[in-house]
Amino acid sequence: MNNTNEIQDASVIDSFAAFYPFYLNEHSNRTCRRLHFVGSSLSLVCLAMLAITGKPQYFLYGLLCGYGCAWVGHFVFEKNKPASFKRPLYSFMGDWVMYKDMWTGKIKF
């Protein structure tokens, strides 16, 4: 099961190391990746606003920005269902690893 083309169901993956290649395969569309990047960036802004103002609605705004952008990317551009529906923790971790990889140039923006 090392080949990401063989993995069809994220629920059978038992480690993040095995999940991340699958996750990247589910984000092959550049516009989808860009929407993830925008959503993650906006979520960080909302987290900063929460820390600055103490207003809890910024937590909700962060979730809406992050997941809203990502889901538009998946349903409209990638034409697949987000992995967060089956593996929410690994998917959340994958979002941030991919975000870092985009910042560092490891993955094309």
Asked whether residue 78 is domain-assigned, the answer is: yes
| Model confidence pLDDT, tens digit, residues 14-70 | 899 999 999 999 999 999 999 999 999 999 999 999 999 999 999 999 999 999 999
Q: Averaged over 72-99, what is the pLDDT?
A: 94
- Tell me what pLDDT residue 12 has: 84
Compute the residue count for the chain: 109
Contact at 8 Å (CB) between 23 and 36? no
* Run of H or E including 16: helix 16-25
Boundaries of domain holding 91: 36-109
- Tell me what pLDDT residue 4 has: 44
- Tell me what pLDDT residue 7 has: 56
Q: What are the Cα distances from residue 6, in Å, to 17, 19, 31, 87, 88?
A: 16, 12, 24, 17, 21
Asked whether residue 24 is domain-assigned, the answer is: no
Asked whether residue 51 is domain-assigned, the answer is: yes
Asked whether residue 90 is domain-assigned, the answer is: yes
Structural domains of the chain, count: 1
